[in-house]
Amino acid sequence: MKHILITIAAVLLVGCAPTLLHAKSRKYEVLVYGATPAGVCASVAAAREGASVALLSPYDYVGGMLTGGLSLSDGNQCVRQLMGGLFVEFYQRIHKHYRDAGVTLNWEIDLTKYNKWTNEPHVAEKVFNDMLKEAGVDVFLEHRLTGVTKESARIIMLNTSKGMLHAEQFIDATYEGDLMAAAKVSYALGRESKKQYGESLAGHQFPKKAVIIEPFNAAGKPLPLLTGDSLGEDKGDGKIMTYSFRVVISTDPNNRLPIPEPANYDPARFELVRRYVKANPKVAGSMVSIDEYPLPGRKVDLNNGIGRQISSGLVGASWAWPEATYKEREKIWEAHKQYTLELIWFLKTDSGVPEGVRRKFATYGLAKDEFGKYGGWPPALYVREGRRMIGEHVLTQHDVRTNARKKDSIGISSFPIDSHDCQRVPTADGRGWINEGTIFPKRINGNHHGHPYQVPYRSLTPKRSECVNLLVPVCLSSSHVALSSIRVEPTWMMLGHSAGVAAAMASKTKVDVQQLPYNQLKKRLKKQNQVIEFPTDYVINEELKAADK
């Protein structure tokens, strides 16, 4: 990773001479970098507080994963009773869009139920753009960060590939934490050891059984799709969970594009899969496949299967992404696309795959009315985990599972601790291979959701000595284990919403973000329908009762 760090430093801190922005040049009160769902919510919330707001994206679209393929946002695995603010408003608007179009959905906005709120990506994009326009947010697309200007611990200006932009307060809403890294804010990357924060779910995790099949080729080298030749020491590492595409397919023959045949397809790349299928014919169709979520419009959202041995996630290829340059990320993006296309091609054509599986994948086609300028392929790679700030308060497994209440709560999270595979390696005895790093959803017994806990404002603020006008709602201050619970769009949208209100207040009152009076912030969050407190009669769960006294 050393060479990547050097490259990032050169690009972000030195950059090239900035040019004038291709838009009206002005100083904003709040600047949000990263047009993810959290970034959109932060921008809208700040603008509704009366701040002048700019939203910058390094890409040519707004909405991150919710407009880039992910069409089931996992709100069904959170405590709906404890959700509100712009997240709920977003889905209310989506539901209204379909109702106005005469489309009957199989879900309603009912916070007492755990049904799946699904939508087509183009509808999410329209709703996000409507919200931004109504709030008066200035949106700048394809502005890649090239550097920041700071005076002491205060950011003054961003340099981008299209020019400079000044602001009083900044929000890093990227999935990777690019702005905070450029501002020299401390961060962690990869997994901690169990010892560092006393987390039982840290370090190596083995919920999946080893596959006892020869993992080496004739030359004694690990087969393709393995990430190395050994697990490495269980002391924390730079590995993060796998990324994948959320491909949207159409089941309507009149709205379907053929999935392209992958260039330079090499069947040998899937020898590991072929051996697995041959040895496990009865479970091959379930353990080597892709999860599917039905959507409106006769479409299906494909997702990497956390419980499968082989799925659409390219295990190990995500490790370099967070600190890679944009050019390097383009190559990693292409590698993930190539793998996904190759996997689908393998599953529909290879004679070693059960006939029923081949028939199913042969019917797959991209949705003609989604991602038109990208040929039907989703533009967003599912970045489940990037950098993690080391700020005023580091959230850990204990905050998620036992220390649920916080005096400076800005929202309530309740998605289970849930990590996709981090590596796939031969077993120690060399007789097989194993997926490592998976954390299957840690739910409360008998419930669909995880343990509800309040997220403190302090986890969004950097150390005051490092930066006093930056908030980080996506790559917030947390361990790998805690982020495995935080890392879904409902939670990030909630945190982005609260960050936007806080940034607007900090601009108006001229205080450092670390010194913002919490009681005033709490009042403004409630005014914007954010849920930050447990109802007086709400029982968190049995596990937390003792810790809550």
pLDDT along the chain (549 residues), means of 10: 41 37 71 98 98 98 98 95 97 98 96 95 98 98 97 97 96 98 98 98 97 96 97 95 98 95 94 95 90 97 97 98 98 98 96 92 96 97 98 97 96 97 97 97 87 97 98 98 98 98 98 98 97 86 45
pLDDT number for residue 448: 87
Q: What DSSP assignment string belongs to 433-449?
A: EEEES-EEEEPPTT-SS
pLDDT number for residue 106: 94
Q: What angle do CA 445, 383, 146 make, to 5 degrees?
A: 145
In angstroms, the first-to-last Cα distance of the chain is: 45
Q: What does the pLDDT look like over 494-527, one tens digit per residue?
A: 999 999 999 999 999 999 999 999 999 999 999 9
Percentage with pLDDT > 90 across the chain: 90
Domains and CATH numbers, the chain: 2-73+120-189+456-530 (3.50.50.60)
Q: What residues are paired with 419 via a beta bridge?
A: 439
- 359 token code pair: 């028939």
pLDDT number for residue 541: 58
Instruction: Report d(CA 523, CA 181) in Å as an integer.
Output: 31
pLDDT number for residue 543: 47
pLDDT number for residue 445: 76
Instruction: Report d(CA 333, CA 351) in Å as an integer.
Output: 29
Q: What does the pLDDT look like over 3-61, one tens digit per residue?
A: 444 344 433 333 333 334 444 457 999 999 999 999 999 999 999 999 999 999 999 99
Asked if 455 and 395 touch (Cβ cutoff 8 Å), the reply is: yes
pLDDT number for residue 148: 97
pLDDT number for residue 547: 39
pLDDT number for residue 15: 37
How far is the CA of 125 from the CAs of 68, 119, 175, 492, in angstroms?
A: 9, 10, 18, 17
Nearby residues of 279 by Cβ (< 8 Å), 6 or more positions away: 213
State the average pLDDT for the chain. Answer: 93
pLDDT number for residue 136: 98
pTM of the model: 0.94
pLDDT number for residue 327: 97
pLDDT number for residue 401: 94
Residue whose pair of structure tokens reads 């009865």 in the numeric block: 282
What is the per-residue burial (b if ≥16 Cβ within 10 Å, else e) of 64-79? Answer: bbbbbbbbbbbbbbbb
- 166 token code pair: 């000044």
Residue whose pair of structure tokens reads 């712009």 in the numeric block: 86
pLDDT number for residue 2: 40
Q: What residues are paired with 424 via a beta bridge?
A: 435
- Signed CA dihedral, 342, 345, 346, 350: sign only: negative
Asked if 454 and 412 touch (Cβ cutoff 8 Å), the reply is: yes
